[in-house]
Amino acid sequence: MSELAPYAVCQANSRGRQHPDSEPSHRGEFQRDRDRIVHSTAFRRLEYKTQVFVNHEGDLFRTRLTHSLEVAQIARGIARALQLNEDLVEAISLAHDLGHTPFGHAGQEALNDCMHDHGGFEHNLQSLRTVDLLEERYAAFDGLNLCFETREGIIKHCSLENARRLGELGERFISRTQPSMEAQICNLADEIAYNNHDVDDGLRAGLITLEQLEDVSLFARHAADVRRLYPGIGGRRLIHETIRRMINALVCDLVETTAANIACGRPADLAEVRLRGAALVVFSDDMGNAQRLMKRFLRSHLYQHFQVLRMANKARHIICDLFAAFTSNPRLLPPQYQEPGSSEQARRVADYIAGMTDRYAIKEHRRLFAIGES
């Protein structure tokens, strides 16, 4: 790792871990966080959790695991260019979706509806709950006992009500201040990854077309460059060349705009980064607008495509059926999730469902509702 900027997170300015822990040998604290995340059960489950397309719909579509790896790659490159902590951004990137439900956003929305009278459900908070409580790997503490800065980066969004329950982690949402620049990087690296790779998967699935994307300035500009440089190019080569240029343009814009913000704001240390009312890690106005137009296109043409909506509708039924069955009869749950009569029983049901992979949720639904299944 290159020398860190004075406003970067480092071991010296870290707020440490919730529980006393031994000093790591031959690695840093944030490398240890990354390693604990990679070895966790929740991380392995990401291989079979939906990004946009349900896992069984095709072998080449992104899953939550491949998405997390792509976010980590993008985030590390940005962090290195800005002399920020690469190990920390990698740890945050790999952990940010650990609490995601099966079936992507459709599953999250369904579980949130089910949990309406029990505090709701939000995957960022569930990711934190996973690393703080649900992982069972160590004798001395629940969860993974990650550093404050890694846990902070996992929480991208949070309501004021939930922020008040989070203590020190929730303070920035109440005071409207900022997390570390490493956390800010991961937020936008996530956006870069899912926008561009959803374009790739949408084209592969045949749900969106190159002709439709010609109306989206960010894609059209780079596709034109590729066609000019490589006359007659088409198919997957055209798509990959265009998407990699879009990612590069977004990353370069983010690095350059952020570097200009740092030069103007001159944060002396991490404390000054946190006390700012606005993020330092941002796109330029033009690129930010281009990203918003791409997101709008994907929302209307891909995420609202009738084939995606059909699968989302199935997913909602599966999640709601499972929740209703388990809350009405907790003895249907594995023993470790049973708390009959407890005010926390609904939350334990949500933990169980959120931890499922797509295919496990489908199988569990069949076991509960299909005659002849066991």
Phi, psi angles (nearest 5°) of residue 299 = -60, -45
Q: Is the pLDDT of residue 2 over 90?
A: no
pLDDT at position 374 is 63
pLDDT at position 157 is 87
Question: Of 1.10.645.10, 1.10.3210.10, 1.10.3720.10, 3.40.50.10860, which CATH number belongs to 29-308?
Answer: 1.10.3210.10
pLDDT range class, residue 52, cuts 50, 70, 90: low
Alpha helices in 214-357 (DSSP H): 217-229, 235-265, 270-275, 285-298, 306-328, 345-354
Phi, psi angles (nearest 5°) of residue 50 = -60, 140
Q: Is the pLDDT of residue 237 over 50?
A: yes
The pLDDT tens digits of the residues spanning 143-164 come to 999 999 999 999 998 889 999 9
For residue 215, what are its two tokens?
């109306």
Q: Is the pLDDT of residue 59 over 50?
A: no
Q: How far apart are CA 256 and CA 367, in angstroms?
A: 54
Contact indicator for 132, 142 with CB cutoff of 8 Å: yes
Assign residue 102 a region (left: φ > 0; alpha: ψ between -120 and 50; beta: otherwise): beta
Contact indicator for 8, 84 with CB cutoff of 8 Å: yes
pLDDT range class, residue 371, cuts 50, 70, 90: confident
The pLDDT tens digits of the residues spanning 243-294 come to 999 999 999 999 999 999 999 999 999 999 999 999 999 999 999 999 999 9
Q: Where are the domains of the chain?
A: 29-308, 309-369
Helix (H/G/I), strand (E/B), else coil: 147: strand
Sign of the four-CA dihedral 83, 87, 92, 93: positive
pLDDT at position 349 is 97
Contact indicator for 321, 365 with CB cutoff of 8 Å: yes
Q: How far apart are CA 342 and CA 272, in angstroms?
A: 44
Q: Which helix (H) or strand (E) holds 102?
A: none
- Altogether, the residues listed in the chain come to a count of 374
Q: How far apart are CA 183 and CA 284, in angstroms?
A: 19
The predicted model gives 339-365 an average pLDDT of: 92
pLDDT at position 333 is 94
In the chain, pLDDT over 90 holds for what percent of residues?
Answer: 84
pLDDT at position 62 is 80
Classify each residue of 263-272 as buried b or exposed e, where b means 16 or more C-beta atoms within 10 Å of its C-beta. Answer: eeeebeebee
The predicted model gives 39-68 an average pLDDT of: 78
Residues 6 or more apart whose Cβ sits within 8 Å of residue 46:
63, 64, 65, 68, 97, 98, 100
Q: Is the pLDDT of residue 41 over 60?
A: yes
Average pLDDT, the chain: 93
Contact indicator for 5, 84 with CB cutoff of 8 Å: yes
Residues 6 or more apart whose Cβ sits within 8 Å of residue 278:
178
Query: What burial class does residue 201 get, using C-beta atoms within 10 Å of its C-beta: 0-12 exposed, 13-18 middle, 19+ buried?
Result: buried
pLDDT at position 153 is 98
Q: Is the pLDDT of residue 339 over 90?
A: no
Comparing CA positions, the residue from 237, 181, 192, 194 lying closest to residue 74 is 192
Q: How far apart are CA 309 and CA 130, in angstroms?
A: 28
Contact indicator for 254, 78 with CB cutoff of 8 Å: yes
Q: Which helix (H) or strand (E) holds 88?
A: helix 86-95
Q: Is the pLDDT of residue 45 over 70?
A: yes
pLDDT at position 341 is 77
